[in-house]
Amino acid sequence: MARISIFGIGYVGVVSAACLARDGHDVIAVDVDAGKIAAINAGLAPIVETGLDELVEEVVAAGRLRATDDVQHAIDATELSFICVGTPSAEDGSVGLGYVETVCRDIGRALARKDGRHAVVIRSTTVPGSTEGTCIPALEAASGKRAGADFGVGYYPEFLRESTAIKDYYDPGLIVFGALDPATAETLTALNAPLGCKIHAVDLRTAEMVKYTSNTWRAVKVTFANEIGNIAKSAGLDGQTVMEILCSDSKIALSPYFMRPGFAFGGSCLPKDVRALRHMAAANGTATHLLDAVLEANAAQIARAEKMVRDAGHSRVGFVGISFKPGTDDLRESPLAELASRLIRAGVQVDIYDPYVSEAYSSGHSAAGRGNDVIPDLKDRLIDDLDRLIEGAGAVVIGNLYNETVSRLEEAAANVPMLDLTRLNRRLVSGGRYQGICW
């Protein structure tokens, strides 16, 4: 079993740390957030994620997971470090490497005082060339050592989906990594061997590109499906039926998850990664017509939903869901949050039912409301009771689909205007009090 330090107790970091600890590895989670550190050491998950509370409690109790802000201790006590900090978009749309570079310098300073070999593996999403152009120079400058010779370096992207992250960890559709040295490649191969998935060992830049290609492809598929849905609706056709038939063609191996007409994409990955890939291509003198259209069309889908709500003409609107997808409390670049903020600025009273965001607040998570920078007084707008939300609303916006709400919302659709961005039921089509965004 390996001794591993995880830098960054965010969504990727805490899930990776808990799963590695479950597999028998000795794991130290490192962060500057005292609240997250305290939560982990108390056996509590710092974020809302299916199955994570129980898993963190289990591995902390077993003594295989602990958290600290002491970088030197973490490096001295482990042999492998994963960097899992955020890479938010910069002002110009390029990938923001500030957090990654800071952590690399912190690790480098600790490596300078450590005898013996250590490997540093970046899991944060970075555009091709970032590991070589930013991470390695920062590590070498701070440590006074040479990458690939005195310490190992790798890039190992994650493909975890929020709300199904633990399941995805143990049943990955794709494993790819790049390593600067054979020892790091062997370590990453050994860690992934039990997962039963083909392992793609490539160079650092290719591994970085695969991550962006994967996320950008998901973004392209969502936008394509929405456009087909909009066009189909204008012709009196059902876009979801059209796309379901297309996805039944197994020869082109299309995942139906993203090929479902509905609302805009959002979250911590797709928007910023499309922007970053566009920026990198522009810097290389390469045009990106489709990527330009992806972001333009995604913004247009939010505007389309805004027009639907405005046309309904109600001064009070209830939102079912505000996070960027069901099953998580993450509001980073949530299109629902953006839609709500526009309505609030226009003078509309917005109430919100979101069980996962509410759970984060009621549990006292230090990261409650994470990613929200557009909705004022978010906590005060949350309503735990769906009936109360419906009764107080002039219209209901169905943004996220929660199984426990379907029957009640279907019942209410007969009396309350419903603006559906996800589709409660395939039998429902636009007409009367009910309007679907593209069906």
- Which pLDDT does position 236 carry in this prediction? 92
Query: Parallel, antiparallel, or unpaired: how do β-strands 65-68 and 80-83 relate?
Result: unpaired
Amino acid at 200: H
- Which pLDDT does position 24 carry in this prediction? 97
- How far, CA to CA in Å, does 366 sit from each of 40, 47, 83, 102? 12, 8, 21, 22
Give me the mean pLDDT over the 27-40 stretch.
98
Residue with tokens 């910023």: 272
DSSP summary character for residue 151: B
Are the beta carbons of 179 and 188 closer than 8 angstroms?
A: yes
Are the beta carbons of 300 and 293 closer than 8 angstroms?
A: no
Catalytic residue among 104, 247, 269, 438: 269
- Which pLDDT does position 252 carry in this prediction? 65
- Which pLDDT does position 109 carry in this prediction? 98
How many Å apart are CA 321 and CA 155, to the nearest integer? 35
Q: In a 3-state reduction of DSSP, which class is residue 160?
A: coil
- Which pLDDT does position 255 carry in this prediction? 75
Phi, psi of 32 (to 5 degrees): -95, -10
Buried b (16+ CB within 10 A) or exposed e, 256-289: eebbbbbbbbbbbbbbbbbbbbbbbebeeeeebe
How many Å apart are CA 340 and CA 421, to the nearest integer? 13
Binding residues for substrate: 159-162, 211, 258-262, 266, 325
| CA end-to-end distance (rounded Å), the chain | 52
Binding residues: 31, 36, 87, 126, 159-162, 211, 258-262, 266, 272, 325, 332
- How far, CA to CA in Å, does 57 sit from each of 17, 282, 363? 12, 46, 15
Instruction: Show the beta-strand stretches assigned E in 336-429.
Output: 349-353, 395-398, 418-420
Binding residues for NAD(+): 31, 36, 87, 126, 162, 272, 332
Q: What is the rounded (10 degree) CA torsion for 166, 58, 16, 51?
A: 20
- Which pLDDT does position 257 carry in this prediction? 80
Domains contained in the chain, CATH given: 3-203 (3.40.50.720), 297-436 (3.40.50.720)
Percent of the chain with pLDDT over 70: 99
Buried b (16+ CB within 10 A) or exposed e, 57-78: bebbeeebbbbbeebbebbbeb
Mean pLDDT (the chain) is 95
Known catalytic residue at 269: yes
Are the beta carbons of 152 and 184 closer than 8 angstroms?
A: yes
pLDDT exceeds cutoff 90 at 85: yes
